[in-house]
Amino acid sequence: MSSLYNTSVLQLSGYDLPQEGVFPAFLFATLNYMIILFCNLTIIFTIVLNKSLHQPMHLFLVNLPINDLIGSSALFPHLIKEILTNSRRIQFSACIIQAFFIHIYAAGSVFILTAMAYDRYIAICYPLRYNTVMTNAHIMKIIILVWSSCVVLIAVLFILLLRLYRCRSEITHSYCDNPSLLTLVCEDTTINNIYGLFISAFTQVIANGLVFYTYLRILIACFRSRQSDTKAKALQTCATHLFVFLLFECLGLFTIISYRLQNISPHLRRFMGVSTLIFPPTLNPIIYGLKTKEIHEKVLNFFKNKLILSE
């Protein structure tokens, strides 16, 4: 039994592909990851390299594709390798790293979208004070707070996990995360469960509370505005942010709840868990690239210039 405690290789039983499904799965995963890399890196470089986009909204926005790259890169390289080799094995250290960054991605998505909602709230509800409030120093404080909160909350989660002995080596999920790793433990996990629920409740209550409060105030301000152009632009921007937020929240909440309900199909649980790491990173840059006029124009101009130079 003591040798099991010290095993450095874990078994992943979440992958169960028939032979004829290997190539389509490999093709889908590879193309999806390439699209995620291309679209998110395009948004990042477009904002970073254009000084005209160094505005508060875009400085908050650039953190979203960075976070999406963290989440997708924690999943896809190992997923593609697993599809090709079908080894169903992962080193414990690699599993911990994957789980850590997946949880960073999850927490980061919530906090970044909350910060973006706060920025839109100030811009629309207090437009005359916007430049005074949203200074570069204030923006940096918020961004540092977002990332440091994610790192501290998730680091504590994994410190609590790593103190426990393992007596199992099989993970029934498609990737490593804290709930899956806890199933390998045969000690009392009460503290871990309480802290995990605390993080989930804290992030959901704070994020959902702030987001819904800010968008409620924004809607009220928009309907009171007499300028139809301003109202339409504000509603379009907020609708984009709200759609992205609700998409992630619905996928994330179902994944969290599915771990607490034993009668849910494991295949559905795996699909929803992977969807959280596939759909938001794929759709976010496309949505913001199409809906954010300034970014849309800069991206189009860049590719037009490249085409002209290549002719």
Q: Is the pLDDT of residue 305 over 50?
A: yes
Strands (E), the chain: 9-12, 89-91, 170-171
Residues 59-92 pLDDT 10s: 999 999 999 999 999 999 998 988 888 777 889 9
Q: What is the pTM of this model?
A: 0.88
Q: Is the pLDDT of residue 292 over 90?
A: no
Strand partners, 166: 185
Kindly state the average pLDDT of the residues 235-255: 78
Instruction: Say how far apart CA 286 and CA 255 lie, in whole Å.
Output: 24
Length reported for the chain: 311
Instruction: Show Cβ contacts of residue 188 under 8 Å, excluding neighbours closer than 6 positions.
Output: none
Instruction: Say how far apart CA 152 and CA 287 lie, in whole Å.
Output: 30
- Nearest CA among 239, 250, 253, 254 for reference residue 287: 239
Strand partners, 90: 10
Range of 6-20, 32-46, 174-188, 201-215 with top mean pLDDT: 32-46
86-90 contact pairs (CB < 8 A, 24+):
86/15, 86/17, 86/22, 88/11, 88/12, 88/13, 88/15, 89/9, 89/10, 89/11, 89/12, 90/9, 90/10, 90/12, 90/171, 90/176
CATH architecture for segment(s) 20-309: Up-down Bundle (1.20)
Instruction: Say how far apart CA 96 and CA 9 lie, in whole Å.
Output: 12
Instruction: Show Cβ contacts of residue 99 under 8 Å, excluding neighbours closer than 6 positions.
Output: 158, 175, 176, 177, 178, 180, 181
Instruction: Say how far apart CA 48 and CA 19 lie, in whole Å.
Output: 44
Structure confidence at residue 231 (pLDDT): 63
Q: Is the pLDDT of residue 5 over 60?
A: no
Two structure tokens written together for 110: 């919530």
- List Cα–Cα distances, 192 to 94, 156, 187, in angstroms: 21, 10, 11
Strands (E), 48-191: 89-91, 170-171
The lowest-confidence range among 118-122, 128-132, 169-173 is 169-173
Instruction: Say how far apart CA 146 and CA 114 lie, in whole Å.
Output: 9
Structure confidence at residue 1 (pLDDT): 41
Q: Is the pLDDT of residue 14 over 80?
A: no
Strand partners, 171: 12
Instruction: Say how far apart CA 41 and CA 62 lie, in whole Å.
Output: 10
Range of 57-71, 159-173, 256-270 with top mean pLDDT: 57-71
- Count of Cβ atoms closer than 10 Å to residue 37 Cβ: 17
Using DSSP's 3-state secondary structure scheme, residue 12 falls into: strand
Range of 70-84, 231-245, 283-297 with top mean pLDDT: 70-84
Higher pLDDT, 263 or 190: 190
Sole residue written with tokens 């433990």: 185
Instruction: Say how far apart CA 311 and CA 126 lie, in whole Å.
Output: 48
Sign of the torsion angle spanned by Cα atoms 249, 255, 260, 262 = positive
Domain chopping of the chain, boundaries: 20-309
Structure confidence at residue 142 (pLDDT): 95
Looking at every residue in the chain, the average pLDDT score rounds to: 84
Structure confidence at residue 11 (pLDDT): 80
Instruction: Show Cβ contacts of residue 116 under 8 Å, excluding neighbours closer than 6 positions.
Output: 57, 60, 61, 64, 241
